[in-house]
């Protein structure tokens, strides 16, 4: 008899309590709590028959993704979700680094070394015998890979208890909203949507709409079909959703042009990157109930969150009940009580407090402000510290700006490389508008529009900026920009 972690048992009990009531809606229809558990049990039997240990999942959002994920939790397997936007090289790295023995996917492509076995529930299943599976920290239930700034995925080992503690913390904080329906517009392979979109809503009793990402206008790491994206909200009429900043900008801009989101929407969380305060203001002016939060994979996703009864725009909210956060003497955000089990293949760092690499400060009444990454801060020739993420968030809050990277180390000017969303002629006014919201020392003094395809080579597979690569690829442009004002 398999011993199920009490935290996992609580999640399964929440699903069981639905009975014949709806739990998941996907492209094939609406599925009850009982049907979800039946699909999950079927997956568990299939994995048991294969002798599975570590299972990589690369599939679209839908009932089967959720059912398989629950089966992996309940069965004591190690789940390794793989985002569809990971490159072939990154996938190979994940499979080898994590010692994957079973591959589950929704396409016919087979990674090298895997042999197909009978599929299950419409998904392809393949198997191999890894040569030397790495030792994992005890209680590892999921390895979530984040590409970080180098582009090489790094495995974060998490326990079921940690993930579900985070989910229950979110449920407790958002209970007054009485949310009954959630629309997923992020892939389930991302920890944020996995925990806050699936687990929290299943525990809460909400119906999760799990459509293929293309059906909600999302493609790859950065693609967004705005009309389809807005239409998904109009058709599904959710009460909650989770957005990244560019999705919030799309929803806000559409509303400003008359395509209002449905009045059903009660809570739209935004995270995954710094959000310009002006974008929050614009969204709320269009009756989009958006609230910023903060977290990272190493801490089991969400750590802080604004919500209707505790909200301060410009901050990332107050710390959730399950975690402790403090700021050290260098201004770095430290976390205790929500830390990972460790990085895959690395020794666990000593000490109770996890250094996040982010800089921040608390307001007097407990709201956290995160200003940027410690390693990215540059100092101008006037001795002013500038967090480029702050400036870039203001630029990206302007619709004409698709991508931006800001530099200014030891220079009297701040220079920006900008990718236009459409007409480059609109960039000048957009940058001026962003500058109007910034103090003089942080403003963009000189800039250049650059080719989108060339800039894309400087991004990780999930769209994060690799600043060292930008500086290398655009070295001549940056040299000219940063010297321009010096010789004037």
Average pLDDT over residues 341-348: 87
Q: Helices in 51-159 by DSSP H: which ranges?
A: 63-75, 88-98
- 354 pLDDT exceeds 70? yes
**E strand intervals along 130-195:** 140-146, 154-159, 181-183
Helices H, strands E: what count in the chain?
15, 28
Average pLDDT over residues 317-333: 96
Residue 26 structure tokens: 């996907």
pLDDT tens profile 199-213: 999 999 999 999 999
> What distance lies between CA 398 and its chain's CA centroid?
21
Most confident among 11-20, 141-150, 331-340, 375-384 (mean pLDDT): 11-20
Report residue 448: phi and psi, to 5°.
Answer: -145, 135
Cα–Cα distance, 456 to 463 (Å, whole number): 8
DSSP-assigned letter for residue 331 = S
Residue 296, class by beta-carbon neighbours within 10 Å (0-12 exposed, 13-18 middle, 19+ buried)?
buried
pLDDT tens profile 62-113: 999 999 999 999 999 999 999 888 878 889 999 999 999 999 999 988 999 9
Closest Cα to residue 164, out of 40, 322, 352? 322
- 39 pLDDT exceeds 80? yes
300-309, 379-388, 404-413: the lowest-pLDDT one: 379-388
Cα–Cα distance, 323 to 28 (Å, whole number): 38
pLDDT tens profile 235-283: 999 999 999 888 999 999 999 999 999 999 999 999 887 888 999 999 9
Full-model pTM: 0.87
| Per-residue model confidence (pLDDT) at position 265 | 97
Closest Cα to residue 177, out of 277, 300, 22, 311? 311
| Per-residue model confidence (pLDDT) at position 484 | 46
Ramachandran quadrant class, 255 (left: phi over 0; alpha: psi -120 to 50; beta: rest): alpha
| Per-residue model confidence (pLDDT) at position 414 | 94
Closest Cα to residue 366, out of 310, 291, 307, 298? 310
- Going along the chain from its start, the domains and CATH numbers come out as 6-158 (3.40.50.12780), 161-374 (3.40.50.12780), 377-484 (3.30.300.30)
Contact yes or no for 284/290 (Cβ under 8 A): yes
pLDDT tens profile 122-180: 999 999 998 888 999 999 999 999 865 445 778 999 999 999 999 999 999 999 999 99
| Per-residue model confidence (pLDDT) at position 486 | 39
């Amino acid at each position: 008899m398999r011993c199920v972690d009490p935290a996992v048992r609580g999640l399964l009990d929440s699903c069981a309590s639905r009975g014949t009531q709806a739990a998941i809606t996907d492209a094939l229809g609406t599925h009850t709590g009982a049907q979800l558990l039946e699909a999950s049990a079927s997956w568990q039997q299939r994995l048991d028959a294969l002798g599975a240990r570590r299972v990589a999942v690369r599939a679209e959002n839908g009932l089967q993704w959720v059912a398989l994920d629950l089966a992996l939790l309940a069965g004591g397997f190690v789940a390794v979700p793989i985002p569809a936007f990971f490159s072939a090289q990154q996938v190979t790295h994940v499979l080898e680094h994590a010692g994957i023995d079973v591959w589950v996917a929704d396409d016919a492509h087979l990674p090298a070394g895997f042999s197909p076995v009978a599929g299950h529930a419409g998904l392809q299943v393949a198997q191999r015998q890894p040569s030397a599976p790495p030792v994992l920290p005890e209680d590892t239930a999921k390895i979530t890979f984040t590409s970080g700034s180098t582009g090489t995925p790094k495995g974060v080992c998490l326990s079921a208890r940690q993930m579900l503690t985070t989910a229950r913390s979110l449920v407790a904080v958002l209970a007054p909203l009485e949310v009954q329906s959630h629309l997923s517009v992020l892939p389930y392979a991302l920890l944020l949507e996995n925990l806050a979109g699936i687990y929290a809503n299943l525990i809460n009793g909400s119906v999760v709409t799990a459509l293929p990402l293309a059906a909600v206008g999302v493609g790859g790491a950065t693609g967004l079909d705005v009309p389809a994206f807005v239409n998904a909200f109009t058709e599904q009429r959710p009460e909650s959703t989770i957005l990244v900043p560019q999705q919030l900008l799309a929803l806000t801009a559409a509303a400003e042009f008359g395509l209002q989101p449905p009045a059903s929407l009660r809570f739209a969380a935004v995270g995954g990157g710094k959000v310009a305060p002006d974008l929050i203001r614009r969204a709320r002016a269009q009756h989009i109930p958006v609230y910023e939060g903060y977290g990272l994979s190493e801490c089991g996703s969400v750590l802080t969150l604004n919500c209707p009864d505790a909200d301060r725009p410009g901050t990332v909210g107050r710390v959730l009940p399950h975690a402790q956060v403090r700021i050290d003497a260098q201004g770095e955000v430290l976390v205790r009580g929500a830390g990972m089990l460790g990085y895959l293949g690395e020794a666990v760092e000593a000490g109770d407090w996890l250094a996040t690499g982010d800089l921040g400060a608390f307001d007097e009444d407990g709201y956290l402000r995160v200003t940027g990454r410690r390693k990215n801060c540059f100092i101008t020739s006037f001795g002013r510290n500038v967090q480029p993420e702050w400036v870039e968030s203001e630029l990206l809050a302007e619709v004409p700006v698709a991508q931006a990277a800001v530099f200014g180390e030891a220079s009297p000017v701040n220079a920006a490389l900008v990718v236009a969303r459409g007409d480059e002629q609109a960039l000048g006014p957009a940058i001026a508008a962003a500058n109007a919201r910034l103090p003089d020392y942080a403003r963009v003094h000189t800039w250049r529009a650059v080719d989108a395809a060339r800039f894309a080579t400087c991004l990780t597979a999930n769209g994060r900026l690799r600043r060292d690569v930008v500086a290398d690829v655009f070295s001549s442009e940056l040299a000219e920009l940063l010297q321009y004002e010096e010789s004037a």
